[in-house]
């Protein structure tokens, strides 16, 4: 079986994405390789999200729209992963080999699935894969700077064996980073590919539902605390992100978010083996950087 014969499914959690979802739909139905099923899970939208998705489903029978009850607010921590988890339980295709989470404000290049499936075909140990994410800021595209470990949840793709081995998505801040490291713990590779044809456009910047970008970076700090990141890694992350909007202040807010969570004794991911693996990987990465520097 070639990758072009491989069966894959797509799940898209969506809440109040009426401004963007039409472009996501247009980019996905125009793919050179199409999924067996695309489940759009409307997470209690109060705008036209569900209506737009339903209109697409009438034109394309492989699109299905599921609706969840409105909880009354946007849950930035676990809303998306809960909607994804609900969607994957409703999949009717039994013999798919790959799973993709594509957010409802993402625009894919026309060969995205074809090319990412080719990456999976070339490396049987590749468990998690994605292209780089560009964000629209000030009318131009800026690359989202992150570890090249397929951590951007907006476009994650999994080999089914990897997904089932590591277990369901963690319902928390920073789930996408935890997810990649859980796969790596089991011997799978998690890679973000820099190929130009695999770049995707995120129409709304990460964390745009926060009242300002400072909250986005504070949330990132809280996510690092939840995952059990080493304090030295947190400092290095803050320094690394100083050039990112809103420039300097973002890195400071990252540290503040981490420290506030630590001082409050906030909840952490309860997997000591995972924490040991994560911290060992982070310290090894920092040591290698210092040696090369």
C-alpha–C-alpha distance, residues 54 and 76, integer Å? 24
pLDDT 10s digits, 78-122: 678 999 999 999 999 999 999 999 999 999 999 999 999 999 999
- When pLDDT is cut at 50, 70 and 90, the band that residue 147 belongs to is confident
List of domains in the chain:
8-202 (3.90.550.10), 213-292 (no CATH)
Whole-number pLDDT of residue 293:
56
What are the tens digits of pLDDT across the range 255-276? 999 999 999 999 999 999 999 9
- Given pLDDT bands bounded at 50, 70 and 90, which one contains residue 4? low
pLDDT at residue 282 above 90?
Answer: yes
Q: What is the pTM of this model?
A: 0.91
Cis peptide, bond prior to residue 246, ω within 30 of zero = yes
Q: If pLDDT is split at 50, 70 and 90, which confidence band does 205 have?
A: low
Q: Provide the Cα torsion 134, 104, 155, 27; round to 10°.
A: -80
- Residue 167 burial (10 A CB sphere; 0-12, 13-18, 19+): exposed
Task: Say if residues 149 and 180 touch (Cβ distance below 8 Å).
Answer: yes
Q: Is the pLDDT of residue 73 over 90?
A: no
Decide if pLDDT at 173 tops 90.
no
Percent of the chain with pLDDT over 70: 92
Average pLDDT over residues 164-176: 93
Whether residue 126 is predicted with pLDDT greater than 80 in this model: the reply is yes
Q: Rounded to an integer, what is the distance from CA 69 to the centroid of its chain?
A: 23
Which strands make up the sheet holding 189-193, listed edge to edge? 63-68, 37-43, 8-14, 98-101, 157-159, 126-131, 189-193
Looking at residue 210, its pLDDT comes to: 45
Strand order in the sheet with 200-202: 106-107, 200-202, 133-137, 140-143
The predicted pLDDT at position 272 comes to 96
What residues are paired with 141 via a beta bridge? Answer: 136
Name the pLDDT band for 206 (thresholds 50, 70, 90). low
Instruction: Look at residue 209 in the predicted model and tell me its pLDDT.
Output: 46
Res 169 pLDDT > 70: yes
> Which distant-in-sequence residues (6+ apart) come within 8 Å of 65 by Cβ?
39, 40, 42, 50, 53, 54, 57
Write down the mean pLDDT value for the chain.
91
36-72: pLDDT as tens digits:
999 999 999 999 999 999 999 999 999 999 999 887 7
Average pLDDT estimate for 109-136: 96
Strand-pair category, 126-131 with 157-159: antiparallel
Higher pLDDT, 213 or 22: 22
Per-residue pLDDT tens for 218-258?
999 999 999 999 999 999 999 998 888 777 888 999 999 99
């Amino acid at each position: 079986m070639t990758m072009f014969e491989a069966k894959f499914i797509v799940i898209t959690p969506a809440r109040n994405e009426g401004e963007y979802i039409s472009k996501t739909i247009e980019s996905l139905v125009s793919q050179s390789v199409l999924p067996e099923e695309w489940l759009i899970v409307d997470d209690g939208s109060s705008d036209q999200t569900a209506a737009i998705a339903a209109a697409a489903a009438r034109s394309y029978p492989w699109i299905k729209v599921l609706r969840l009850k409105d909880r009354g607010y946007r849950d930035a921590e676990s809303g998306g992963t809960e909607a994804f988890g609900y969607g994957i339980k409703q999949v009717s295709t039994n013999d798919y080999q790959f799973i993709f989470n594509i957010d409802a404000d993402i625009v894919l290049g026309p060969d995205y699935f074809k090319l990412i499936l080719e990456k999976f075909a070339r490396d049987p140990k590749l468990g998690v894969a994605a292209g780089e994410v560009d964000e629209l800021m000030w009318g131009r595209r800026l690359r989202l700077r992150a570890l090249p470990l397929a951590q951007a949840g907006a476009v994650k793709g999994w080999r089914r064996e990897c997904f089932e081995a590591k277990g369901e998505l963690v319902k928390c801040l920073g789930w996408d980073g935890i997810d990649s490291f859980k796969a790596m713990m089991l011997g799978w590779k998690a890679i973000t590919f820099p190929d130009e044809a695999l770049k995707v456009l995120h129409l709304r910047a990460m964390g745009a539902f926060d009242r300002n970008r400072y909250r986005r970076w504070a949330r990132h700090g809280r996510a690092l605390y939840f995952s059990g990141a080493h304090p030295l890694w947190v400092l290095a992350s803050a320094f690394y992100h100083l050039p990112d909007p809103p420039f300097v202040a973002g890195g400071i807010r990252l540290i503040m978010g981490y420290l506030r969570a630590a001082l409050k004794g906030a909840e952490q991911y309860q997997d000591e083996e995972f924490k040991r693996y994560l911290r060992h990987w982070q310290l090894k990465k920092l040591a290698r950087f210092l040696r090369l520097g």
